[in-house]
């Protein structure tokens, strides 16, 4: 169960970081964007007029400086604005709440979450799937059980945490119903 908690904690951090990387709920002025991978072809500059009227509305704070932004940033902002526009009002409210939580975090915690997100993204797809499944099992547990597991995690030494977070080689993930 501690292993599941470790995996869940990693996924929870990566989920939080994914919103930190490109939170669709924030006004785009506050959206941090990760640099483009070195292997990706360079992005071409995008003209302000090529954006839809709705995207220009979302990105209005950038209108005066759009042409001076790096092409990668323009592309990320355009993609984020399109994602925002495709959300339902409930999704936007949830995203805004998560973004506010992100902004309230100390910078050190944000950096740790970014690092954990990058570690998660570096995992093989099968391992990412296992982590997501474990996280979902954790979320389905009663709050008391989740709190109990969190407490156990906090009491572990770093070495114990590391061992608990390692995948169970050859063993399928437990399929026990939540207690």
Q: Where are the domains of the chain?
A: 1-24+98-179, 42-86
DSSP one-letter code for 167: -
pLDDT of residue 48: 94
Give the N- to C-terminal CA distance of the chain in Å, as an integer: 11
pLDDT of residue 44: 85
pLDDT of residue 6: 44
pLDDT of residue 23: 38
pLDDT of residue 87: 96
Q: CB 22: neighbour CB atoms within 10 A?
A: 18
pLDDT of residue 165: 78
pLDDT of residue 81: 95
Q: Based on C-alpha coordinates, what's the Rg of the chain?
A: 19
- Walk along the chain (179 residues) in steps of 10 and give the mean pLDDT of each run: 45 41 40 51 86 95 94 94 96 94 95 94 94 93 94 92 72 45
């Amino acid at each position: 169960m501690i292993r599941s908690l470790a995996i869940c904690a990693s996924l929870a951090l990566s989920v939080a970081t994914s919103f930190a990387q490109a939170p669709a709920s924030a006004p785009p002025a506050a959206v941090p964007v990760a640099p483009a991978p070195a292997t990706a072809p360079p992005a071409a500059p995008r003209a302000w007029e090529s954006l839809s009227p709705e995207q220009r509305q979302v990105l209005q704070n950038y209108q005066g400086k759009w042409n001076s932004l790096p092409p990668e940033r323009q592309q990320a902002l355009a993609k984020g604005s399109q994602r925002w526009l495709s959300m339902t009002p409930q999704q936007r409210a949830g995203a805004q709440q998560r973004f506010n939580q992100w902004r309230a975090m100390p910078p050190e915690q944000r950096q740790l979450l970014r690092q954990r997100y990058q570690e998660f993204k570096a995992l093989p797809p099968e391992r990412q799937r296992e982590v997501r499944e474990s996280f979902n099992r954790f979320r389905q547990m009663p709050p008391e059980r989740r709190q109990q597991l969190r407490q156990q995690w906090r009491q572990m030494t770093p070495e114990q945490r590391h061992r608990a977070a390692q995948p169970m080689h050859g063993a399928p993930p437990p399929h026990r119903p939540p207690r």
